Homo-oligomer: A and B are copies of this chain.
Amino acid sequence: MTPDEFRAYGRQVVDWIADYHERVESFPVLAQVAPGDVRAALPAEPPEHGEPFGDVLRDLDEVILPGITHWQHPSFFAYFPANASGPAILGDLLASGLGVQGMLWATSPAATELETHVLDWLASLLGLPARFRSDSAGGGVIQHSASDAALVSLLAALHRVSKGRTEHAGVADGRFTVYTSAQTHSSLEKACRIAGLGADALRKIDVEPATLAARPEHLRELLARDIAGGRTPALVVASVGATGTGAVDPVAELAAIAHEYGAWLHVDAAWAGVAAVAPELRWLNDGLDLADSYCTNPHKWLLTNFDCDAFWVADRAALVGALSILPEYLRNTATESGAVIDYRDWHVPLGRRFRALKLWAVIRWYGADGLRAHVRKHVALAQEFAAWVTADDRFEIVAPHPLSLVTFRLRAGDDATRALMDRVNASGELYLTHTLVDGAVALRMAIGSTLTERRHVEAAWRALSA
């Protein structure tokens, strides 16, 4: 494709996206296709000769769009919404156009330095402790997802608690154990399996019935029992805004206990953490000055397209120690000088995309005040929604909702609650998902799409309460 062709088709694609965002509300939120429908409309074999780019755009409309669940729809209230925004899309487009690899500082110094810099910026915006900044012993890096952040935290924890032994000897003779709340175990269970500990190494901390937050005294019991049984506690993960209901663990208390028993404390605030851009929500950071690592996802609630998990460590040496391998073909003067960061040693893959550009574009376009306004709008809408639920005797709220997630159910029970969810989702007017609280089905109203306004939340409540 020549530069002039790229200019012409590029404009078509930009216009297609702008049009899509203007008309996204006209689509059913949840795709209405059956398994195999999309594939059945595609040619079985690839084309022998090149096709016009317009044919791709035509099939995008005719074949792909009917199979899309519209995450950017203003009435998308499922899972946690994953924000996109104009500056993020354009920042990512610039990354594609540059096409550089940031695996080493030397392979494109600006890709590394901008990433270090915007993660310091984000630490400032969120009011994170100084120990996570790059001018301390710590620093930040963009990971693919919070699952990756949990995995690399576990690897760094194993490195530290084994004094570097696991890199060579593996985890076989350590009998390592890992701890997290029963509310939030799935990404950590996956990490335990990947890291060779197995799911049996994961202990679930009981939660307080009212808040669904992990109980520190139960963590202490689990740790004491494991130590007595010859186990080596490696990692405790505290959640700030757990996926199911948004539960917030008592980070400071969990951290103090974890450290008393020699374990690493990672805080997973994938969804909720970014809300600390608003000073009145800085309670989200309570205890972080005791955490060994922390992550939150601008790709959920901070207007930055997937993938962009912001991950910080207080001691980068443990992370790099766990992951650094230097084959001859990657040796270079800058790395050997020790004056640079090589981000390939901070995560699982070797290659890496210039993801800092999109976060840089978002922070500059919105500014601190724009980001605050974005979060505050959704929090206010969620409080209004919660008030409507509370005022309706048929419903009950089942968990605290200090941010933008409201978890609720019909008093009539699981079958009625599920039937309600299925009815509204099938209507195409909105989309929300469920979880289990105390064994009972609850619906999750997660407000956070870039385009969501008050009228969409009102319409959702009308549909739910009809």
Q: Could you tell me the distance in whole angstroms from the C-beta of A299 to the nearest C-beta in chain B?
A: 7
Question: Of A204-212, A321-329, A377-385, A394-402, which binds chain B?
Answer: A321-329
Q: Determine whether A96 belongs to the interface, using a CB cutoff of 8 Å to chain B.
A: yes
Chain B residues with Cβ below 8 Å from A340 are 35
Per the bound structure, the CA–CA distance linking A125 and B360 in Å amounts to 39
Q: Determine whether A189 belongs to the interface, using a CB cutoff of 8 Å to chain B.
A: yes
Given contacts A90-B13, A186-B325, A348-B194, contact A110 B45 (CB under 8 A): no
- CB of B170 within 8 A of CB of A90, answer no
Per the bound structure, the CA–CA distance linking A227 and B125 in Å amounts to 56
**Complex partner residue of A84 from B42, B51, B96, CB under 8 angstroms:** B96
**Complex partner residue of A113 from B5, B36, B158, B434, CB under 8 angstroms:** B36
Chain B residues with Cβ below 8 Å from A97 are 13, 16-17, 20-21, 84, 89
Q: Determine whether A137 belongs to the interface, using a CB cutoff of 8 Å to chain B.
A: no
Residues 339-379 of chain A, each 1 if its beta carbon lies under 8 Å from chain B, else 0: 11000000011111100000011011111111000000000
Q: Determine whether A444 belongs to the interface, using a CB cutoff of 8 Å to chain B.
A: yes
- CB of B349 within 8 A of CB of A144, answer yes
Given contacts A71-B101, A96-B84, A171-B171, contact A79 B368 (CB under 8 A): no
Per the bound structure, the CA–CA distance linking A113 and B60 in Å amounts to 13
- CB of B22 within 8 A of CB of A3, answer yes
Q: Determine whether A283 belongs to the interface, using a CB cutoff of 8 Å to chain B.
A: no
A340 (CB) vs chain B CBs: closest residue: B35
- CB of B10 within 8 A of CB of A17, answer yes
Per the bound structure, the CA–CA distance linking A76 and B443 in Å amounts to 53
Q: Could you tell me the distance in whole angstroms from the C-beta of A323 to the nearest C-beta in chain B?
A: 7
Q: Could you tell me the distance in whole angstroms from the C-beta of A453 to the nearest C-beta in chain B?
A: 14
Chain B residues with Cβ below 8 Å from A66 are 110
Residues 60-93 of chain A, each 1 if its beta carbon lies under 8 Å from chain B, else 0: 1001111111111000000100111111111111
Q: Determine whether A196 belongs to the interface, using a CB cutoff of 8 Å to chain B.
A: yes
Q: Determine whether A452 belongs to the interface, using a CB cutoff of 8 Å to chain B.
A: no
Q: Could you tell me the distance in whole angstroms from the C-beta of A320 to the nearest C-beta in chain B?
A: 12
Q: Determine whether A465 belongs to the interface, using a CB cutoff of 8 Å to chain B.
A: no
- CB of A364 within 8 A of CB of B244, answer no
Per the bound structure, the CA–CA distance linking A144 and B63 in Å amounts to 26
Chain B residues with Cβ below 8 Å from A13 are 14, 90, 93-94, 97
Chain B residues with Cβ below 8 Å from A85 are 1
User: Interface residue count for A (Cβ, 8 Å)?
Assistant: 154
Q: Determine whether A427 belongs to the interface, using a CB cutoff of 8 Å to chain B.
A: no
Q: Determine whether A387 belongs to the interface, using a CB cutoff of 8 Å to chain B.
A: no
Q: Could you tell me the distance in whole angstroms from the C-beta of A296 to the nearest C-beta in chain B?
A: 14
- CB of B175 within 8 A of CB of A368, answer no
- CB of B306 within 8 A of CB of A353, answer yes
Q: Could you tell me the distance in whole angstroms from the C-beta of A16 to the nearest C-beta in chain B?
A: 7
- CB of B194 within 8 A of CB of A68, answer no
Q: Could you tell me the distance in whole angstroms from the C-beta of A333 to the nearest C-beta in chain B?
A: 9
Q: Determine whether A167 belongs to the interface, using a CB cutoff of 8 Å to chain B.
A: yes
Q: Determine whether A224 belongs to the interface, using a CB cutoff of 8 Å to chain B.
A: no
- CB of A189 within 8 A of CB of B325, answer yes
Per the bound structure, the CA–CA distance linking A361 and B38 in Å amounts to 16
Per the bound structure, the CA–CA distance linking A107 and B71 in Å amounts to 9
- CB of A170 within 8 A of CB of B147, answer no
- CB of B46 within 8 A of CB of A125, answer yes
6 residue pairs, one from A and one from B, having the closest CB atoms: A196-B196, A1-B86, A67-B110, A170-B198, A10-B14, A17-B97
If A3-B19, A53-B361 are given as contacts, then 5 extra A-B residue pairs at C-beta distance below 8 Å, sorted by A number, are: A6-B89, A11-B11, A65-B110, A170-B197, A172-B175
Offer 20 A-B interface pairs, CB within 8 angstroms, sorted by A.
A13-B97, A17-B93, A33-B109, A47-B363, A48-B368, A50-B369, A53-B87, A67-B109, A68-B100, A68-B108, A70-B100, A101-B306, A145-B351, A166-B193, A166-B196, A170-B198, A190-B350, A193-B322, A194-B323, A306-B351
